[in-house]
Structure 1
Amino acid sequence: MEKTDEAGKGTIVLATVRGDVHDIGKNLVDIILSNNGYNVVNLGIKQPVSAILEAADEHRADVIGMSGLLVKSTVIMKENLEELNARGLAATYPVILGGAALTRAYVEQDLHEIYQGEVRYARDAFEGLRLMDALIGVKRGVPGAKLPELRPRRVRAATVEIEDRPEEGHVRSDVATDNPIPAPPFWGTRVIKGIQLKEYASWLDEGALFKGQWGLKQARTGAGPTYEELVETEGRPRLRGLLDRLQTENLLEAAVVHGYFPCVSKDDDLIILDEQGNERTRFTFPRQRRGRRLCLADFFRPEESGETDVVGFQVVTVGSRIGEETARLFAADSYRDYLELHGLSVQLAEALAEYWHARVRAELGFAGEDPAGMEDMFALKYRGARFSLGYGACPDLEDRAKIAELLHPERIGVQLSEEFQLHPEQSTDAIVIHHPEAKYFNAR
């Protein structure tokens, strides 16, 4: 898909808000709007409201679009709308908001109540296009043009809910505390660079790539090729071509820093120890308020047991070159190549993380418990679990600073931003837990 020659239907300033580095959704909006005749001023990531408003004034924008993936970004968007109010610009700039952490009710009810202009929620890039058409139509007095109605929040019928509250004092889950503690091959950290693609390519989850990243799917009408046929005729041939290109152009710089540390748990805390048994740092994790009342700390020996457990940490990256290449493709309007390569880069980082987690299980001596089939591997049917920061059991991104202090990932070119984001984007971090009962759960 290439940009049309038509321009001038209207101008929108797009930005990922301050503190957020995620731009794939925003860039999709850019692609769709640009190819439908709109002028798009794409400011990029981590944009303060002052920069957004300066660009809107300079380019005489009709609309402002703000995007973000993090929960924190929803708060920044609210602050930005309040700033537009304070500057008397709400009537000048209608706003479209989008991002994974947003909900329609939050935007079209809560934020609409505080914003003195028009604000709407775009679930995806195509809804963003429909909203842009409506906003420009209303502004220019196009007959019949109108904004979609605000959708009221769905209010459930009142019910009496009895919450299962923890009793007074600390409550520990029923996770076993007598599982064998494996001996790590070393204490401290190690850096591994120059990992070849062939070593982790088999861990690439094709389903996540083809469906989630590339959007391969059968037509709703049932006509045309099936998903399986699309995989064989489009998915895998394109994948093979891209993998060959990555190697030929040397766009991958796969590297890992990982380590093993002695530890104990106390209540909801995981305490990392030094070689003398003194506290080095600690992580405090949330605990479920009902059910098993799980907490990540429960998967490690309690301090009062007198035993010392072991925890693994890892940071992996496929390097910065692939991100630089996706940025070049986007700037060159090579949209299909951009979307495919970006999606592949994200999944390759995940494949490298899974590959290294398997290496950790081997080093700890229980790789023999791994399932035989790769589908079962992708279904996480192996022993233990790899918990990445920001998800349900360990939602606090600030804990990344503690992992960075332990592993020093700058040795493999990974930096931690002030907003606790990993750079390059195609990088992941994780707490690696050996306990047989450790599986993913939401603590809140």
Structure 2
Amino acid sequence: FWGSKIITAATEAVIPFLNERSLYQFQWGFRKQGRSLEDFMVWAKQELRPILKRMLELAAKDDILRPQASYGYWKAAGDGNDLVLFEEDGTTEAARFTLPRQMREDGDCIADFVRDINDPQRDVVGLQVVTVGQKASDIARDWFEENRYQDYLYLHGLSVEIAEAMAEYTHKRIRAELGFAAEDARDMDTLLQQNYRGSRYSFGYPACPRLEDQHPILALLGAERIGVSLTDGDQLHPEQSTSALVILNKRAKYFTI
């Protein structure tokens, strides 16, 4: 299909895409303390998974996490350093993003990963925006004000990582719908290290740094239908939300500028 559609996922369906290492180390702040990563994860599965299980049960009981996404497909072409999206006719311009190029000979730019604008055949890119909803932020704020600092930390970190898991869930759906799911790594930990075809580029990172470029993305996706908007500072609201360009070219991997 062309254009966008809305999906709602049960938290249980998203959990397999949860990056537990990121949750434990970077969101909840547990350190390896001299252990190898392998030993740390063995310890974490014994000591921290019960906390994760408790928080998920609490979130389910009070309907705190509400994973949703708007995603879809647009015809696309590269025009120099510009990624151009088109309406279904392939000629009416829907959006244009000017993107940075690496400062070296044959340096990469996201616009390189789609067909050239002079090619008679258009390429396709995916767009997605995901959220876990405003209630997670509201409850976390309530807990902080009630001096439930530990639960606040656990819920805030979990909701951030559930949003990332929903982004992975939606991205996998895109690869499946476009016929590339067979190229995914079978092991989930390996998959989450970008072992699949193409990449998902989020705004604010070096390859697409302009947060304001999210305005046309959210407009095309009708993001207001899942309650997502941009603040005056071009930050996504609710906080636990992400947006991205999904590029399917097998050469498209993360790169620095």
Give the % identical residues: 43
Alignment of 1:48-59 (within 5 A): none
CA–CA separation in structure 2 for the residues paired with 1:217 and 1:263:
43
Note the C-alpha offset of 1:215: 1.9
Note the C-alpha offset of 1:306: 1.5
Note the C-alpha offset of 1:279: 1.4
CA–CA separation in structure 2 for the residues paired with 1:214 and 1:266:
43
Alignment of 1:293-372 (within 5 A): 293-372=107-186
Map Cα deviations across residues 231-289 of structure 1 (whole Å, 9 max, x no partner).
Answer: 13421000011111111111122111011011111100111111232212211101111
1:434–1:346: structure 2 CA closer, same or farther, 3 Å change rule?
same
CA–CA separation in structure 2 for the residues paired with 1:218 and 1:302:
47
Alignment of 1:3-402 (within 5 A): 186-193=1-8, 195-219=9-33, 227-228=40-41, 230-276=43-89, 277-290=91-104, 292-402=106-216
Identify the residue that residue 142 of structure 1 maps to in structure 2.
none
Note the C-alpha offset of 1:291: 5.2
SS in 1 for 2:232: coil
1:338 alignment partner AA: Y
- Runs (5+) with no aligned partner, structure 1: 1-185
1:297 alignment partner AA: A
CA contact (8 A) 1:217 1:230 kept: no
CA–CA separation in structure 2 for the residues paired with 1:275 and 1:383:
24
1:418 alignment partner AA: D
CA contact (8 A) 1:322 1:345 kept: yes
SS in 2 for 1:190: strand
- Runs (5+) with no aligned partner, structure 2: none
CA–CA separation in structure 2 for the residues paired with 1:368 and 1:411:
31
CA contact (8 A) 2:4 2:70 kept: yes
CA–CA separation in structure 1 for the residues paired with 2:21 and 2:213:
31
CA–CA separation in structure 2 for the residues paired with 1:354 and 1:441:
19
Note the C-alpha offset of 1:422: 0.7
Q: Which has the larger radius of gyration?
A: 1
1:436–1:410: structure 2 CA closer, same or farther, 3 Å change rule?
same
1:368 alignment partner AA: A
SS in 2 for 1:372: coil
Note the C-alpha offset of 1:290: 1.1
1:206 alignment partner AA: E
SS in 2 for 1:345: helix
CA–CA separation in structure 1 for the residues paired with 2:45 and 2:191:
22
Map Cα deviations across residues 55-75 of structure 1 (whole Å, 9 max, x no partner).
Answer: xxxxxxxxxxxxxxxxxxxxx
1:282 alignment partner AA: R
CA–CA separation in structure 2 for the residues paired with 1:272 and 1:313:
10
Note the C-alpha offset of 1:218: 4.1
**Aligned Cα root-mean-square deviation (Å):** 1.3
SS in 2 for 1:305: coil
Note the C-alpha offset of 1:379: 1.0
CA–CA separation in structure 1 for the residues paired with 2:15 and 2:105:
38
1:287–1:385: structure 2 CA closer, same or farther, 3 Å change rule?
same
The reply to whether residue 432 of structure 1 matches residue 239 of structure 2 is no
Note the C-alpha offset of 1:229: 5.2
SS in 1 for 2:48: helix
- Larger RCO, structure (CA 8 Å, separation 6 or more): 2
Identify the residue that residue 256 of structure 2 maps to in structure 1.
442
CA–CA separation in structure 2 for the residues paired with 1:232 and 1:374:
16
CA–CA separation in structure 1 for the residues paired with 2:174 and 2:48:
31
Note the C-alpha offset of 1:399: 0.2
Note the C-alpha offset of 1:383: 0.5
2:95 alignment partner AA: T
CA–CA separation in structure 2 for the residues paired with 1:238 and 1:338:
13
CA contact (8 A) 1:216 1:230 kept: no
Note the C-alpha offset of 1:219: 3.6
2:5 alignment partner AA: R
CA–CA separation in structure 2 for the residues paired with 1:339 and 1:292:
44
SS in 2 for 1:303: coil
TM-score where L is the length of structure 2: 0.95
